[in-house]
Structure 1
C-alpha cells in the first residue's frame, strides 16, 4: 500500500439520513425504474505481504465498499468506473501528479465475485434469490478491481479510507455484516 497516495476532497454526504429513508427511496425508485442494480468494487492492496481490502468508513462505525447504484440501462463495468471516479478520484484541480501515479482513473475491473439480492424493501440481502421471490428489489454485484502499482486516491472529508486485513473480515459478520465478511471466501476461489 506504500505506492498508494491518498488526498482529501469535498465531503460527499449520504443521500439518506437513515436506513428507513434509504429503503423508502428504494421503494419509490422501484416504482419508477424497477429493480435497482448496484455495483461495488473490491479493491485489494497488500501491506506487509498480506492482502487488505480498501473500504470507506462513515461516521466511525459504518463500513462500505466504494460503488453505488447504476443509472437505468447503464453498463455495469462503465457504471462501476464512474462510481469509483466519483468516490475516489482526485478533484480535477489537484491532479498535479502524472499518469505514472494512476491519476488517469484507468480502473481495471476484474471478475464479478458475488451477487447479492434484496427480495423486499428490507435491509437483509441474500446471496441467492429466494424461491418464493419473483421480483427482487435490488441486485448488488461485487467486482474485483485490480489496483495499479501506483495510484492516487482522494477520499471525501466525511469518510475514512481503511485497509482492512482479510483476517479481520473473516467470520466477522457482527462488525462488518454478511456481505463484507464473505469477501475472504470469495477471494479464495
Structure 2
C-alpha cells in the first residue's frame, strides 16, 4: 500500500506542475484578451518586422523597402547557423566519448575552437561591411577561403571599388589573401 501511495503522490505532483505550467503559459503568452479586443495569434516560425521606415511621408514595412533580398540574408544566416550547430554537436559528442583517444579529443577541441573563430570573424566582417553603407551582407568562412555575399547600396551593381573595400575588410579580419576571398553580389 505504501508503494501505491508514493506512486499516486508522484503522479499527482507531476499533474499539478503540468497544470501550473499550462496556466502560466496561458496567462503570460498574451492569449487572453479583453472583450472587444482583437487577438493576434502567433505561429511558431513566423515573424513580423516591427521597425518602420518612412517613404514619401507614409510609414512602410522595412521588408518592403529592402525587398525580397533581405530574406536571402536571413535564410543564409539561419542555414549557416544550423549547419554550425550540427557540426558543433558532433564535435562535442566526439569529445565526450568515453573511449576516445587523446588525438580524437584534441581534434574535436580544435574543431570547436575553429567554428567559434569562424563565427566571430564572420559576424565582424558582416558588421563592418554594413557599416560601410551596404544594405546587407553574409559571410561564409572555411579553413582556407571566405565568400561574402553583399547587397549593393541603392540596389545597384558592385563596382571594382566596392569589391576592393570589402576585400580589404575581409583580409584585415581573417588574414586571408585576396585570392582566397570571393565577393559576390546578391541578386
- For Structure 1 versus Structure 2, the TM-score category normalised by the shorter chain is under 0.3
TM-score by length of 1: 0.26
Q: Of the two structures, which has the highest relative contact order with CA contacts closer than 8 Å and spacing of 6 or more?
A: 1
Whichever structure has more strand as a proportion of its residues is 1
Looking at secondary structure, tell me which structure has more helix per residue.
2
TM-score (norm. length: structure 2): 0.26
